[in-house]
Amino acid sequence: MSVNTDRHESAVARYLEAWNAREPEALAKAVAAAWTADGSYTDPLADVRGHEQITAVITAAHAQFPGFAFRLLGAVDGHHDTARFSWELVNEADGSAPVAGFDVVTLDAEGRIRQVLGFLDRVPAGA
C-alpha cells in the first residue's frame, strides 16, 4: 500500500523542473532547489554526485535531445522518504516520446532529493 503525499509530488515536480530547465542560471537554481548539496543521480548512463555533476548530466541530455521536454507519466507513488514515478522525454515539435523511464528518489527531511536511481525503459537505437 502506498501513501502518496504532497511532499513526494512536490519533490518530483522540482526534479522535473530541473530536467526541463534550459538556461544555465535557471538550471543551476532548479538543481539546487531539487537536490541536497551532496545528492546523487545514477542511471545506466551516469553515476554522479553534487549539483555541478548533476547539472552536467542534465546539460548533456539537452544537447543530445534538443527541443525535448521531460513529462511525468501517471501518478507519483511514495511512502516515508521514498517516491517512484515514470516519465517520458517528449519531442515538443511532434509529441513523440522516444525515451521513457522509471525513477526512484530518496528524500531528506526537507523534501530535497538525496538520491535518484533511474531506469531507462525505452531508448532509441544509437542514443
Q: Are 104 and 40 a contacting pair, CB within 8 Å?
A: no
At 43, which amino acid appears? D
Question: Which burial class, exposed, middle or buried, applies to 23 when counting CB atoms under 10 A from its CB (0-12, 13-18, 19+)?
Answer: exposed
- pLDDT of 99-120, one tens digit each? 999 999 999 999 999 999 999 9
C-alpha span between 44 and 67 (Å, rounded): 23
Look at residues 98, 30, 33 and name the one whose alpha carbon lies nearest to residue 59: 30
The DSSP 8-state label assigned to residue 16 in this structure reads H
* pLDDT of 27 strictly over 90: yes
* pLDDT of 84 strictly over 80: yes
* pLDDT of 127 strictly over 90: no
